[in-house]
Structure 1
Amino acid sequence: MSHPEYVFDTEHDRYPLAAHVFLVAPEGRVLLMRRAGSGYADGMLGLPAGHVDLGETPTACVVREVREELGVELAPQALSPACTMFRCSQEPRVDIFFTTSTWTGTPVIREPHKCTEIVWATPDDLPDDALDFIGPA
């Protein structure tokens, strides 16, 4: 039975699953990215994240997305599971969150059509324009 408010994505070959990562700097701040051009939460701050493609693991998704979005390399073994949540977005989805404080390279905006700003924020005092599910995650 489908929910009348849900819109299922039939254009992409992927699971209704997204993987996110908290990149944690030595002083404890986390990296947020100002979303742009996607039609979902543009202008809001989100985490580095992406949809898990068919045949891809959530860990591989995070490694790929961070490389594409920020130009840094993550070692899969350095990722720690943080939480999993069900969320009603534009479609129903399960979100998997990881944390890491280890990466190679300096985060930079590599997809300016999808991200306009990088912000380092304190997890206990997130900016008001951070996506509402980041705090609970």
Structure 2
Amino acid sequence: MSKFQPYLAVYIIVRQQQRILLLQRKNTGFDDGKWSLPAGHVEEGESALTAAIREAEEEIGIVIPSSALNLVYTLHRKSDERTYIDLWFETERFDGVPVNQEPDKCAGLMWK
């Protein structure tokens, strides 16, 4: 039997004044056109917390202090090709103004 090695993904719930920041996916090959949270995969040697901070900066240009992120939800899911463990972090504290940093992968941002 082979060792179980799931993919690890992080999602960031960015809150401001009772609203959540969403981004619209495009050209990714997965759920294009749908609204999603900033998210991404944890890279080799990286902690989930560090990945969440990195993804927020890469995708929406904000800096989140590690002390401002709270783990709020965990999901184990299987697709046809892969098994994932998804971690949802939440924050209300961040530096900067959210902006679309990846226009090739994101059609826009929206507070909802």
Q: TM-score, normalised by structure 2?
A: 0.90
- Shift in Å, 1:37: 1.1
- Shift in Å, 1:91: 2.2
- Shift in Å, 1:88: 2.7
Q: Measure the CA separation in 2 of the matches of 1:74 and 1:108.
A: 14
Aligned partner of 1:125 in structure 2 is none
| 1:79-105 Cα distance to aligned partner (Å, 9 max, x none) | 011010012345220100010000000
Q: Which has the higher contact order (CA 8 A, sep 6+)?
A: 2
2:59 aligned partner, one-letter code: E
The aligned length equals 109
| Identity in percent | 37
1:15–1:74 CA distance, 2 compared to 1 (3 A): farther
2:11 is aligned, of 20, 26, 43, to 20
Query: Where does structure 1 lack aligned partners over 5 or more consecutive residues?
Result: 3-13, 122-137
Q: TM-score, normalised by structure 1?
A: 0.74
- Shift in Å, 1:28: 1.1
RMSD over aligned Cα atoms: 1.8
1:94 aligned partner, one-letter code: I
Q: Measure the CA separation in 2 of the matches of 1:23 and 1:70.
A: 10
